[in-house]
Amino acid sequence: MTTISETIPKRAAQSTAKPVPKGKVKIAKALISLLEEKEFNAITTAQISQRSGVSEALIYKYFGDKRDLLHQVLGGYLDDYLDQLELELRGIKGTLKRLRKLIWSQLNLYESNRVLTQILLLDVRSSPCYFDSESYAQVKRHSKIIMNILEEGVKKGELRRDVPLVSMRQVILGGIEHMCLPKIIYKKRYSPEDLTKDLFKIVLEGIVNRPANNKKTA
Amino acid sequence: MTTISETIPKRAAQSTAKPVPKGKVKIAKALISLLEEKEFNAITTAQISQRSGVSEALIYKYFGDKRDLLHQVLGGYLDDYLDQLELELRGIKGTLKRLRKLIWSQLNLYESNRVLTQILLLDVRSSPCYFDSESYAQVKRHSKIIMNILEEGVKKGELRRDVPLVSMRQVILGGIEHMCLPKIIYKKRYSPEDLTKDLFKIVLEGIVNRPANNKKTA
Amino acid sequence: MTTISETIPKRAAQSTAKPVPKGKVKIAKALISLLEEKEFNAITTAQISQRSGVSEALIYKYFGDKRDLLHQVLGGYLDDYLDQLELELRGIKGTLKRLRKLIWSQLNLYESNRVLTQILLLDVRSSPCYFDSESYAQVKRHSKIIMNILEEGVKKGELRRDVPLVSMRQVILGGIEHMCLPKIIYKKRYSPEDLTKDLFKIVLEGIVNRPANNKKTA
Amino acid sequence: MTTISETIPKRAAQSTAKPVPKGKVKIAKALISLLEEKEFNAITTAQISQRSGVSEALIYKYFGDKRDLLHQVLGGYLDDYLDQLELELRGIKGTLKRLRKLIWSQLNLYESNRVLTQILLLDVRSSPCYFDSESYAQVKRHSKIIMNILEEGVKKGELRRDVPLVSMRQVILGGIEHMCLPKIIYKKRYSPEDLTKDLFKIVLEGIVNRPANNKKTA
DNA sequence: CATGAATGAGCATTCATTCAT
DNA sequence: TATGAATGAATGCTCATTCAT
Distance A193 CA to F4 C1' (A): 52
| Amino acid identity for residue A161 in this structure | R
Q: What is the pLDDT of residues B71-111, one digit of tens each?
A: 888 888 888 889 999 999 999 999 999 999 999 999 999 89
Q: Which residues lie across from D159 on neighbouring strands?
A: C208
- Are C187 and D183 within 8 A, CB to CB? no
- pLDDT value of position A128: 63
Instruction: For residues A53 and B194, give the distance between their C-alpha atoms in angstroms, rounded to a whole number.
Output: 55
For residues B199 and A168, give the distance between their C-alpha atoms in angstroms, rounded to a whole number. Answer: 8
10 Å Cβ neighbour count for C133? 18
Query: Are A123 and B128 within 8 A, CB to CB?
Result: no
The answer to whether the Cβ–Cβ distance between B39 and A121 falls below 8 Å is no
CA nearest to A181, candidates B176, B143, B170, B129: B170
Is residue B218 domain-resident?
no
A159 three-state secondary structure: strand
Q: For residue C74, what pLDDT band results from cuts at 50, 70 and 90?
A: confident
User: Could you give the percent of chain B with pLDDT greater than 90?
Assistant: 54
- Confirm whether any atom of chain F, the nucleic acid strand, is less than 7 Å from CB of D58: yes
Instruction: Determine the average pLDDT of the residues in D79-95.
Output: 91
In the complex, which subunits touch D with 3 or more CB pairs below 8 angstroms? Answer: C
d(CA B46, CA B61): 15
CA D53 to chain centre: 29
How far apart CA B26 and CA B49 sit, in angstroms, is: 9
For a pLDDT cut of 90, what percent of chain C falls above it?
54
Q: Rounded to 5 degrees, what angle do the CA atoms A121, A122, A125 make?
A: 85
Is D214 among the domain residues? no
Q: What are the Cα distances from residue C100, in Å, to B115, B182, C92, D19?
A: 77, 87, 10, 58
In angstroms, how far is E11 C1' from D54 CA?
18
Q: Which of residues 44-63 of C touch strand F (CB under 7 A)?
A: 44-46, 56-57, 59-60
Give the residue with minimal CA–C1' separation from F18.
C57
Q: Which pLDDT tens digits describe chain A residue by residue (218 residues)?
A: 333 334 455 444 444 556 778 889 999 999 999 988 888 888 999 999 999 999 999 999 999 989 899 988 888 888 888 999 999 999 999 999 999 999 999 999 999 888 888 788 877 776 667 777 777 888 889 999 999 999 999 999 999 999 999 999 999 999 999 998 888 877 899 999 999 999 999 999 998 988 766 554 44
Exposed (0-12), middle (13-18) or buried (19+): which is B67, by Cβ within 10 Å?
middle
Report DSSP state, residue D126. Answer: G
Q: Is B167 helix (H, G, I), strand (E, B) or coil?
A: helix
D41: in domain: yes
pLDDT for D52: 95
The domain containing residue A81 runs over which residues? 4-209
β partners of residue C159 = D208
pLDDT at residue D16 in the model: 52
* pLDDT for residue D17: 59
pLDDT tens per residue across span A54-101: 999 999 999 998 989 998 888 888 888 899 999 999 999 999 999 999
Average pLDDT, chain D: 85
CB D184 within 8 A of CB D114: yes
pLDDT value, residue A13? 47
Q: What is the pLDDT of residue A18?
A: 62
- Does C218 score more than 70 pLDDT? no
Provide the pLDDT for residue A126. Answer: 66
d(CA D105, CA A188): 66
Considering only alpha carbons, which residue of chain D is nearest residue C122?
Answer: D126
Count of domains for chain A: 1
Any idea what the CATH number is for the domain that residue A72 is in?
1.10.357.10
Domain assignment of residue C214, yes or no: no
Q: Do B170 and A181 touch (CB under 8 A)?
A: yes
Rg value, chain C, Cα: 19
Choose the mutation target among C35, C43, C202 for the interface with D, i.e. most D CBs under 10 Å.
C202
List for chain D the helix, strand, coil content (%; round to 5): 75, 0, 25
Task: Provide the positions of strand F that have an atom within 7 A of a protein CB.
Answer: 1-20
Asked if chain B contacts chain A via 3 or more Cβ pairs within 8 Å, the reply is yes
CA dist list (Å): A50 to A33, A60, B201, D58: 12, 15, 53, 18
Predicted confidence (pLDDT) per residue in D102-123, tens digit = 999 999 998 988 888 877 877 6
Q: What is the DSSP string of B95-145?
A: HHHHHHHHHHHHHHHHHH-HHHHIIIIIIGGG-TTGGGSHHHHHHHHHHHH
The answer to whether residue D127 sits within a structural domain is: yes
User: Does residue C133 surpass a pLDDT of 80?
Assistant: no
CA of A143 to C1' of E12 (A): 48
Give CA–CA dist D106/D85, Å, rounded: 9
Q: Which pLDDT belongs to residue B15?
A: 46
Rounded distance between C-alpha atoms, residue B80 and residue B13, angstroms:
12
Q: Does the pLDDT at position B3 exceed 70?
A: no
Q: Closest residue to F2 by CA to C1' distance? A: A58
∠D64-D68-D73 over CA atoms, to 5°? Answer: 125
- Please compute, for residue D178, the number of CA atoms within 13 A of its CA located in the half-sphere on the CB side: 24
